[in-house]
Structure 1
Amino acid sequence: MSGPIFTFFRLIRAAWTLARHDAMFPVEYQAVFPAPARWAGRLARLVAIKGRADNPGERLARALETLGPSYVKLGQVLATRADVVGVHFARGLSRLQDRMDPFPDATARKIVEAELDASIDALFAEFGPPAAAASIAQVHKAVTHGGQSVAVKVLRPGIEQRIYKDIAVLRMGAGLAVRFFPASRRMEPRAFVETVARSLVLELDLRMEAAGASELMEAAVSANNLHIPEVVWPLTSKRVLTTEWIDAIALTDIAAIEASNIDRVKLAHDITDAFLTCALERGAFHADMHAGNLFVSRDGKLWAVDFGIVGRLEGPERRYLARILHGFLTRDYDRAAAAHFDAGYVPSHHARADFSAALRSVAEPIFGKRADEVPMSRVLLQLFEVTELFDMHLQPQLILLQKTMVQVEGVCRTLTPAHDMWQASAPAVERFMRRELGPEGRVRDIFRDLERIQTSLVALPATLERLTEAAERMNAPDDASAPARRRWLAGLAIAVAAASLAVLATLALTGRLAT
């Protein structure tokens, strides 16, 4: 059933579930709610579940898990917006567990056969029962006819219809929030829901996850100890994803890690270094690095799985990140401030010296402290306060990276409570600074500029041809405005000629530099 009436009733059901978990109008935020919302919150707590979590983010996480896959995704996206919901709230949401009872093995086999257009026996020598199940898909262990053990991920039957119905509910809820709660407009609910919707639709095509795995496998080449399962493309389709099977221990199983005598301090360092190396050197990072998605083999190799969320950073964003981290690590706050201004993240009407002082106020108190006394979440919270004070607007991918850094720190602290995220970050940052911002990086920049210049040169003849045609039209005797336009055209031609000379000069200069 569909339509606005049924969508409204589904919205009421979702609101009831949130109320039962005291996650709709949390008691901790009563002071910021208007009077009607405060009264609604008091009434909701009369029927709230007993023994609920203290952290409002965790309460919301439990409610979203009850509501299903679309709402779990909503929570995952909210967890990336610590700048909006607060670091404490986002940390609670980061503990979302996407688990569900498996659907029948026979159903999974039918889906695989329909997607890959062959019988299970023709596709696999063995096809086992579900090894893990989540809200959108479940995983089976199988063996190919070539003897390779593989993980076969299969979308749930009917999940597409459910997702689209849930998206309709979220859109209706966002519209009502904008209309009746003006304070919510700061979060841009409609745009936020569209972000969730796009992410969900992409997750319904497992070929996109396969592409993310392939991209991260290339990025992991730069990391010292990060391994990505290889995609088996002939056995992958829109609703089926096949990768190599990993025999390893989940990082959620600390007892098994201890029993295997794996160096947990080194493992924590490897996780931090691999994450930042991929982000800085390759511009791609696994953006859902909770302990359930990370494994370690008995020989100490680090493995990552589940590539539904991949963060990507362009060159300028990577340089900004490296400069700000390097500025903090070396206590060079003027350099860190310059990175923000050069990237355009701080409006020019603010004074750079004031911003440098604000960064100093955040960073200086952490030096000389034990790692467990300066969690990155607290530092990020203070940084978000600074961003608000200086009217900053960070790119969504950088916010996603910050959220993942907090997630990585949590995993590493579980392995070894003394893990120092800042110290572990230093090698990756310093490698990038030497490679990208040193002499070698400057030469590489010149050649990148040359590629752009060559592209412009290829287009130059067509541009000149269009200018010639325009000149012929302007010379028409019946055109009264021709003299003015001819002057404009002459100026444009001079500009094009000057640009061409500049290009040629750059080419000549670069040729000398290269030799």
Structure 2
Amino acid sequence: MHLLLTLDALLFRMVGGQLKRFAKARKDLLVAVNEMVRHMFDEIDYILEGGNAERFASLYGNDPKSHQNATIGNTVRNEKENCIKVPKIYWEFTCKAVLTMEWIDGIKLTDQAALERACLNRRKLIDLGLYCSLRQLLEEGFFHADPHPGNLVATDSGSLAYFDFGMMGDIPRHYRVGLIQVLVHFVNRDSLGLANDFLSLGFIPEGIDIQSVSDALQASFGDGTRQSRDFEAIMNQLYDVMYEFNFSLPPDYALVIRALGSLEGTAKLLDSNFKVVEKAYPFVIGRLLADSNPDMRRILRELLICNDGSIRWNRLERLGEAISEQASDSAEESPDSEGNSSDPLGWKSFDMRSVVNATEDLLLFILSEKGGRVRVFLLRDVIKAADVFLQDEVAGVLNEKPEAREASDSEVNATYTRVAKGFHYLRQAVKLAPELWTAMLIRMALKPEVHRFSFDIISALIMHLSHKLPETFWICMSRHLHKLVRNHTSDEL
């Protein structure tokens, strides 16, 4: 076997060398060939595969969120059945050419009828596989590069069993952070940020004009109407740009793309509408909130704050809504609903201590010297919200319908709505951990920067409203006349 593979490897290198020399193939072609050859030999080294299996099991097979007893109210629910299983390796019967492992009975994910007969929840299986894959790619870095349906089975107890650990990847932390940053910049449609990400990760050759790459990426986004979160569609958008500028993907990143593509393809067997980027969003946000590393905090700021300093209220609203839903779920959850939990693994939930710490860090950044532009935009949004509030009061007094406003005010109204929702979501979040939020708010209230910014807001509001005295006067007059007419009518009756 080794002799045949060695001959194949030599042939691959010969063909690759000739293509590079005469057909002007990509300069990284031989790198790709070498990586493919390395994996060919790795896949027939069963000592290595057994070690990979045990390392995978130690990292993900005993995941505390899957094995721990979950307490709900006064009851204890054992979640051991919802876990990742890895076959045990019997080393006494294993050598470089023979791999002996535990037999695990399971159901192929392609066997829909068998899954239904076993009463297995497809959504839970998808969540289980997705959560495990995201932990591999974004937390630990050691990942299964080939999670296709042949390497995964569902057990009768609802666990997901992994097989075939010959093709594994191992990405260092800075690449994992880079992967999160690429995702955030893609979601933000920040083409220049993406181009700089590709440069820092070593994807772009030296001497390439970054602005040209940025322009090409921006063109690949289109007009914004086709912002698909389907991984295959996303890669199709980027492939032309990658080929045009001769991108060179590090071997492990190529495996990441393969793993994500395989994951989405496998999940679509259970749910045809599955989109890996969309489903991964809560996990990515959770990682950004939980990790206090400066790089992760910077990425979180980029997600919530535009390059010009304006706040992405829609993203903030979405995050607040997710945390608010967690508060509602916690309040409504009962022992009877344990089997129907929308998030049985808890991976879509947010650790409130992390949320509070991230909120405090974000507020400190806004109040710092670097956050000056953010404060300017925040002040502008507060004034806009005050204007809309005043307009609503006028509309209420004059019995006008709010939708009668001009279309040009729609953006202002949206800002006001989001600010109002933000306060609602904040109240919901405080219910989850009132002591943490209270302590944080007290710490912030004692800071001189908060006093100065509060004074700036009050001063700006007073100055702005002073220019609206005529309007304010008519508001008061309208209320007074409305009251007089109402009293007069009641007297006549």
TM-score by length of 1: 0.48
